[in-house]
Amino acid sequence: MASRESGARRIAPHLVGSNAFAFEITVREKMKTYTVYAPEEDNRAFKDRATDYVFIKEGYSLWAAIFGPFWLVFKTMWVEAAVFFVAIIGVNVAMEQLSFNAFAISSFFTLANIIFAFFARDIERLFYERSGYQMVSVINGKNEHDCEARYFRNRDQQQQEQQKVMTL
């Protein structure tokens, strides 16, 4: 096995068992995808603006499923949280007027939170786009810190290449 898969890690044979035959187990580490959002251009240097970049993880949000509208509050999406709370109150009043029992109402809201979690990241992306951020990249890595390092390292390399071309 001369080639290694990217994102894979090998476990030494002696850690797996005492079998006389040498073998390797390849453990694939799950890669995560992040969307990179940058603020509008201003006259600050890039190093000063780098802390304003936002990395939004793609996919299902477990925290949004568990906490529902409070996830929106935590992410400072006040308008979205207010709309969610008003919708919850309205649906709750309507279900009580239609004589649904407490189990049916709580089951509905649990299901609503689970469905909301599938769209939570999309809502977050729309929030940043409305706030003047623009999507600049999509990047994969083991975690958010790895993705940040990859993005800024690639950006630095691209800038160095552009400077070399401009000096020629």
| DSSP 8-class letter at 135 | E
The per-residue pLDDT for 47 is: 74
The CA–CA distances, whole Å, from 103 to 72, 118, 153 equal 25, 23, 52
The per-residue pLDDT for 60 is: 94
Per-residue pLDDT tens digits of the chain, which is 168 residues long: 444 444 445 544 444 455 444 445 555 668 899 999 998 877 777 777 788 899 999 999 999 999 999 999 999 999 999 999 999 999 999 999 999 999 999 999 999 999 999 999 999 999 999 999 999 999 999 999 999 889 888 877 777 777 777 776
Q: What span, in angstroms and rounded, lies between the C-alpha atoms of 109 and 106?
A: 5
Write out the two tokens for 109. Answer: 């809201």
CB atoms within 10 A of CB 64: 24
The per-residue pLDDT for 27 is: 55
Beta strands in the chain (DSSP E): 8-11, 25-28, 32-38, 54-57, 134-141
Per-domain boundaries in the chain: 8-149
